[in-house]
Structure formats: C-alpha cells, structure tokens
Structure 1
Amino acid sequence: MGKKLVAPIIITIFSLCFMLFYYGLIFAFIPLSFWIKALIGILPLSLGGVSIFVLVERIKEIRSGEEDDLSKY
C-alpha cells in the first residue's frame, strides 16, 4: 500500500511547486496592480486546492482497497 501512495503524493508536490514557481515569476517580474495580481492569484490557489482534494480522495481509495474506478461502471 505504501508504494501506491508515493506516486500521487510526488505528482501533487511537483505540480504545486511548479504552480508556485510559475506564478511567483509572473508576480515578481510583471508590473501589475495589486488587484490584478490578486485576481490572477485566485487561479493557482484554486488549482492547488483541487489538487490537494484529489490527492486526499486518491489516498482514501487506495486505503479502502478500491483500485479500479472503472469497475463501478
């Protein structure tokens, strides 16, 4: 079970780091007003939240023993 948790956790961490780095560069080097930066910042925050939610759901699936999502359909 532990090996199956490694890949989703690593992928989530890498994607969150990429989003932080990418949007951090945008905020650092593109001169925009605070409100525009705040509006643009909503996107990576929402994507990060969804990524963490999906990771938690995947961990629950792995721990419950449900490996194949297609078996439900």
Structure 2
Amino acid sequence: MYLKKLIAPIFITLLLLLYYGFILLNLIRIPESVGIRILWLIVPLGLMGVSVFVLIERIKEIRSGDEDDLGKY
C-alpha cells in the first residue's frame, strides 16, 4: 500500500539528483580559481542533500499515515 505512494517522490528525487549531478560535472570543468569553483560546487551539493532529506521526511510522513498536512491548521 505504501509503495504506490512512494513511487512519485522517489522518482522526482532521482531526477533532481541526476540534474544536480549533471550540473556538478559541468561546474568541475570551469577553468576558474579553486576558491570560486568550490563556492559554485557547494550549491548543487547542498540542494542534493536537501532533496534527500525531504525524501526521507516524506517517506516518514507516508508511513505514519499523516497525509493531510492542511488538516493541522
């Protein structure tokens, strides 16, 4: 029962990780100084981490059965 609800978040997260990974590969090839390159690499890495964190939170939410977040307000 949970599997059907998990397919979309997992698929979207995988697409985001592929996209950010592609950005990382392109940013590595930029012939800038090391400091600027490191600053530019932090953003996609941070977004990848946030995407995985949100996926984990969504999986916990689905397993707990709390689907309607708006019902709390």
What TM-score do the two structures reach when normalised by structure 1? 0.91
Unaligned runs of 5+ in 1: none
Pairing 1:43-54 to 2, within 5 Å after superposition: 43-54=43-54
Measured against aligned partners, the alpha-carbon deviations of 1:48-72 in whole angstroms (never above 9, x if no partner) come to 1111111000000000001111111
Quick one: percent identity of the two aligned structures?
56
User: Could you tell me which residue of structure 2 aligns to residue 10 of structure 1?
Assistant: 11
User: Could you tell me which residue of structure 1 aligns to residue 31 of structure 2?
Assistant: 31
- Cα distance in 2 for partners of 1:19, 1:51 equals 10
User: Could you tell me which residue of structure 2 aligns to residue 42 of structure 1?
Assistant: 42
Q: Greater RCO between the two (CA within 8 Å, min separation 6)? A: 1
- Cα distance in 1 for partners of 2:34, 2:11 equals 32
What TM-score do the two structures reach when normalised by structure 2? 0.91
Measured against aligned partners, the alpha-carbon deviations of 1:13-63 in whole angstroms (never above 9, x if no partner) come to 1101101102311322x2111111111111011111111111000000000
**CA RMSD, Structure 1 to Structure 2 (Å):** 1.0
User: Could you tell me which residue of structure 1 aligns to residue 55 of structure 2?
Assistant: 55
- Cα distance in 1 for partners of 2:67, 2:24 equals 34
